[in-house]
Amino acid sequence: DVLDGASSTWYYTPARSLADLTGLRQLPTVKLKVTSRTEPHGDENLTSVTVENPSTHLAMFIRLQLKKDQGGEEVLPILWSDNYFCLMPGEGRKFTAIYQRKELQGTTPLVQVAGWNVVGESFY
């Protein structure tokens, strides 16, 4: 983005032009390797998720969600250690999600992974 500093106020700076991100459509698709594990901690559950990018391409804007069974509603409220992230080729990261066990309503928690150039939406 190119900002218009001459038109700036103390609370807002307009943009003269916006970045051209159309090249992102050309990113090759990536299949991620994901593992997850859920453990009880008192009235809460802690779900640990490891996401790895075994490809030779960038994996962009990866989003993690915890679902109540496959195709079920998202578990909310939830606190993720991080989300909407990118992985470089060969990179892996670990994440945690903490939530009240009662929010599962007796269902099995499943991690759903999606991303800008990630193959499909997968459950783990």
- Dump pLDDT digits (tens) for 27-36: 999 999 999 9
Q: Give the predicted TM-score (pTM) of the model.
A: 0.85
Q: What is the 3-state secondary structure (H, E, C) of the chain?
A: CEECHHHCCCCCCCEEECCCCHHHHHCCCECCEEEEEEEEECCEEEEEEEEECCCCCCEEEEEEEEEECCCCCECCCCEECCCCEEECCCCEEEEEEEEEHHHHCCCCEEEEEECCCECCCEEC
Dump pLDDT digits (tens) for 40-56.
999 999 999 999 999 99
User: Minimal CA–CA distance to 116: which of 23, 36, 35?
Assistant: 23
Tens-place pLDDT, residues 55-88? 999 999 999 999 998 889 999 999 999 999 999 9
Tokens of 7: 């038109």
pLDDT at residue 71, as a whole number: 82
Mean per-residue pLDDT over the chain, rounded: 95
Rounded distance between C-alpha atoms, residue 54 and residue 11, angstroms: 43
Residue 88 and residue 92: Cα distance in Å, rounded? 8
